[in-house]
Amino acid sequence: MSGLQLIATGGAIPGRTVTNEDLSRMVDTSDEWITSRTGIRTRHWCTEHESAATLAISAAKQALARSGLAPAQIGCCICATLSAPDATPSVACQVQAALGLPEDRPALDVNAACSGFLYGIAVARGLLTTLGGQYALVIGCEALSRLMDPADRSTCVLFGDGAGAAIFQLSDTPFALTLGARGSDVLHAGGPNRTGSAPITMDGKAVFRFAVDALPKCLHTVLDETQLTLDDLEWVVCHQANSRIIDHCVRALKADPAKFYKNMDRHGNTSAASIPVALNELAENGQLQPGQLLACIGFGGGLTWGGAIFQYKE
């Protein structure tokens, strides 16, 4: 069995909701300016007692409960994040302890920014096939509000916090994966709560040019590998950076926009969390049904990219 299928999801959204109107009282901006340029209307920021780790634990507990699996059946725990509250213990190790996962299973964080969840899937697949096991817990979680300069209107309007978790099973169902990186600091962030750390900075035009190039290439690569077409996919779940990026690519692909799930209007850009948060919403809303095929496409800081095709259950 060389591929993975998705069998369960979970999610966690922090307690502070921040609207565009709220931000207009903090910086020189407006709801119309933010919405027209990004598609974002609200985002959620961590409260004092929340972090990327607490959100990851909540999302992982929900995914495990929904899977019907016992903790002992999880073969590895991978957490994608760029905003872990501590250098060590990793968020994955904190999840391992909170869920009571076995001590003889690997748990580690990966940082590929907005493509992190796809990188996490790749790491999980490799660990299962080399060390054994059938099931992997892959999490994307962020507390980007801890990294932002709240006075920088070019970035504070974009980013939100959240976590999504997914449990994958080794399977012979259709599967493909592609990853890459271009090595650039056009999107830069220092570490949270560390002396001298730099806030998020971004060259928005450069990121846009990269994203509209990377997204279609990733999608074509995984479609070609599986010999599928867009018509075979029920959903394409992209990193939720900006509605204009997805809309641009939909037009370039001459694709059905209804296939491309969007929720950045409610969550903003949550980096590594955006794809698993969207997957969890689809599952919770009954829009993701057993047997459906979907593609996930990530792109962002690094500049990294990733794409995957897999099936939801059998």
CA–CA distance, 150 with 20 (Å, rounded to integer): 13
Catalytic residue among 20, 44, 239, 242: 239
Catalytic residue among 20, 242, 269, 280: 269
CA–CA distance, 199 with 212 (Å, rounded to integer): 25
> Is 239 labeled as catalytic in the residue annotation?
yes
Query: How many other C-beta atoms are found inside a 10 Å radius of the C-beta of residue 98?
Result: 15
Residue 303: is the preceding peptide bond cis (ω within 30°)? Answer: yes
CA–CA distance, 80 with 120 (Å, rounded to integer): 6
> Is 188 labeled as catalytic in the residue annotation?
no
Q: What is the three-class DSSP state of 298? A: strand
Catalytic residue among 76, 114, 249, 296: 114
DSSP symbols for 231-262: GG-SEEEE--S-HHHHHHHHHHHT--GGGEE-
User: In terms of C-beta density within 10 A (0-12 exposed, 13-18 middle, 19 or more buried), how is residue 55 classed?
Assistant: buried
Catalytic residues: 114, 239, 269
